[in-house]
Amino acid sequence: MGNNSLMIQGTASGVGKSVMVAGLCRLLARNGVSVAPFKPQNMSNNAAVTVDGGEIGRAQALQAQACGIEPTVDMNPVLIKPEADEKAQLIVRGKVVGQLEARRFRKDRIGWLGTVLESFYRLQSQYDVVVVEGAGSPSEPNLREGDIANMGFAEAADVPVWLVGDIDCGGVFASLKGSLDILSDSECGRVEALLINRFRGNLALLDDALEWLERETEKPVAGVIPYLSLELPEEDAPYRHALGQNSDGSGFNIAVIAYPRMSNHDDIDPLASEAGVNLRFVRSTDELQPADLVILPGSKHVVSDLEWLRSRGFVPALEQHLRYGGKILGLCGGMQMLGREIKDNGVEGGGSEALGWLPLSTVMLPEKTLRRVDQSSACFGDERVTGYEIHHGDSNCDASLFPFAACSGDGQIWGSYLHGMFEQGPFRKTWLGTMGFSTSDGINQHQRTMDSLDLLADVLERELKPELLAPLLKRSRAA
């Protein structure tokens, strides 16, 4: 099997594959190993713009950051962005190539294997080690035929695998053993080790269970990773921000409306990390208050999510919020909803009259805007702002308001196309001050992220068996 790569697969979605890959990447990079992340196929509406002008899954951008390198389209050659239950936007090597229908998914994906392998081999030629992330579980019987995301890729690329399970969810021993039982003999032989994630408590309590697992599976347990509180962007689980709110509603309250096709929700992570900010995701008007600021985040299907807002009674609730002096921020698709109208040139299948609260009109165009941004904001103290644009709409933006595109006359409603604009602490502090929150710490989110990645790498270096890490570290030691 390939000696400069390792693939992390999981017993299910959400067991920690993305985080484990990020942690391993950070651990290797700190030890002088030239390392890159890779995910053959990702399904997520949370994307980032790469240095080579494409879009990839947000998790791979984070993993590249852990490596200390810029993300490229090779790190996630196939990205699927769901638009509806039976339809998704297909992105190959960073560019939209069409739509994907659920009924053709298994058949169509077989043709992407060559593209996936080409990107993987290119990364292998450029870096000492490539750490690969699987998708979902390799043991789903309905998805195994034609698979390119898990064992199908691992077999084609001859990559060893570690299988991770989440003990915090319960049933981790059954899920690890059961997953191996479903695999073919060759696939099972490819699994070099098992990994248990998110353990709380005294490790000695697991001794008998770990011995049983190693005996029954004939696989070593690479390590048991404790439950960690990390400030890392979540690709598909934003609702962690609903926890730990002040029950009396004190502090600065932010409500983020979580419509069905919400995208790029990691935009709000820097706000949620502020001490004194209580941020929560809401899906009904009953949950909207108390709120000093309401955020309409990005959307993968703006017209549908706008209709959802109307059908759930959010429009009168937001009007009431404004009458009482509340503020609203629309990001990307959320901003488009706040404008006067959305005209559609065949992108989403129909336009709409928007809410009319911002002096903005949008035309949906087939060509997607993908742009990284790094410049100062003249209207906010010349503070540096970084981020990226990723959208189909073309709007009559007011460039003088950068990083915002529009603002209501009374200053209560703001809109921006720029994802990630709150990453820079000084700008975030300045803008939050205009919103009524005066105690921002002004810390750059990059620093918070790197602190969490270093904590994760510390734990992995301590908990993983040295003999299993050695093959990944040996190149730096040889140097």
For 189, residues 6+ apart whose C-beta sits below 8 A from its C-beta are none
Residue bearing tokens 């949906």: 364
The CATH number of the domain where 96 resides is what? 3.40.50.300
437 and 459 part of one domain: no
**161: in domain:** yes
317 and 457 part of one domain: no
3-state secondary structure (DSSP) of residue 304: helix
392 and 282 part of one domain: yes
**355: in domain:** yes
Please say if 391 is a catalytic residue: no
User: How many structural domains are present in the chain?
Assistant: 2
329 and 472 part of one domain: no
H or E segment and range at residue 467: helix 466-478
Annotated catalytic residue, options 25, 188, 332, 407: 332
Name the β-bridge partners of 389. Answer: 371
Alpha helices in 183-228 (DSSP H): 185-190, 207-217
Please say if 332 is a catalytic residue: yes
202 and 287 part of one domain: no
**75: in domain:** yes
164 and 65 part of one domain: yes
Angle (CA) 50-92-5 rounded to 5° is 70
461 and 319 part of one domain: no
pLDDT at position 295 is 98
**425: in domain:** yes
348 and 199 part of one domain: no
Nearest to 302 by CA among 255, 343, 267, 241: 343
**233: in domain:** no
H or E segment and range at residue 257: strand 252-257
Examine residue 403 and say whether the peptide bond preceding it is cis (omega within 30 degrees of 0). Answer: yes
Handedness of CA 93, 97, 103, 107 (dihedral sign): negative
Q: For residues 91 and 318, give the distance between their C-alpha atoms in angstroms, rounded to a whole number.
A: 35
The residue ranges of the chain whose pLDDT is under 70 are: 1-3, 84-85, 101-110, 235-250, 345-351, 475-479
Nearest to 8 by CA among 131, 182, 146: 131
Q: What is the C-alpha end-to-end distance of the chain, expressed in Å?
A: 22
Structure token digits, residue 413: 């409603």
155 and 31 part of one domain: yes
Q: For residues 172 and 199, give the distance between their C-alpha atoms in angstroms, rounded to a whole number.
A: 10
Structure token digits, residue 291: 């709120």
Nearest to 58 by CA among 422, 390, 460, 402: 390
217 and 297 part of one domain: no
pLDDT at position 347 is 65
Cα→Cα distances 385→130, 290, 376, 449, Å: 31, 29, 6, 17
Backbone dihedral angles phi then psi of residue 360, each to the nearest 5 degrees: -145, 135
Q: For residues 12 and 317, give the distance between their C-alpha atoms in angstroms, rounded to a whole number.
A: 38
Alpha helices in 346-420 (DSSP H): none
Range of 172's domain?
5-227+450-478
Q: For residues 51 and 94, give the distance between their C-alpha atoms in angstroms, rounded to a whole number.
A: 11
The CATH number of the domain where 257 resides is what? 3.40.50.880
pTM of the model: 0.90
**232: in domain:** no
Q: For residues 157 and 151, give the distance between their C-alpha atoms in angstroms, rounded to a whole number.
A: 10
What amino acid occupies position 373? V
Handedness of CA 137, 142, 148, 154 (dihedral sign): positive
Q: For residues 49 and 221, give the distance between their C-alpha atoms in angstroms, rounded to a whole number.
A: 36
254 and 212 part of one domain: no
Q: For residues 115 and 388, give the distance between their C-alpha atoms in angstroms, rounded to a whole number.
A: 26
pLDDT at position 146 is 80
172 and 319 part of one domain: no
Burial 243-264 (b: 16+ CB within 10 A, else e): eeeeeeeebbbbbbbbbebbbb
Nearest to 279 by CA among 322, 234, 324: 234
